[in-house]
Amino acid sequence: MSVKKYEADSGSIHRIRLGKFNAAVTSNTEPTAVVNSNIRVKISKSNREFGLRPRTIGLTRVVTAGSGETELTVTKRASLPVLTPAVYVSTTFAIGQTITINAVVWTIASKNPEDT
């Protein structure tokens, strides 16, 4: 786990805990400002919990396993929290673009706004 900073749409800076998968994305830069909020950013927050659900991009990739008659194609999905509003609206994270995370290429399939 890696603790980073997250800039909310309101401009306040929060702490966010990211797994190794999410922390490996170099183009997802964190804000430089100092943390000024105690509100917790929860990536998997339910609607009943207190806190902030971050803006995310939805990622997909197609994996083919096996050979011959037993070949199986599966679409894998993942979600990546985006740490700043500027990166979220950038062309780097536009729908249809690809990003590489730990030598695996993912396609950006959707964008989900921040939810309080």
Structure confidence by residue, pLDDT tens digits, 58-106: 999 998 877 767 778 889 999 999 999 999 999 999 999 999 988 889 9
User: Coil, strand, or helix at residue 22?
Assistant: helix
User: Coil, strand, or helix at residue 34?
Assistant: coil
Max CA pair span of the chain: 57
In whole numbers, what is the pLDDT of the chain averaged over residues? 88
Write a three-state SS string for 58-97. EEEEEEEECCHHHCEEEEEEEEEECCCHHHHHCHHHCCCC
* Domain segments of the chain as ranges: 2-112
pLDDT over 90 percentage in the chain:
51
114 neighbors 88 (Cβ within 8 angstroms): no
Q: What is the pLDDT of residue 82?
A: 93
pLDDT at 46 > cutoff 90: no
pLDDT at 24 > cutoff 90: no
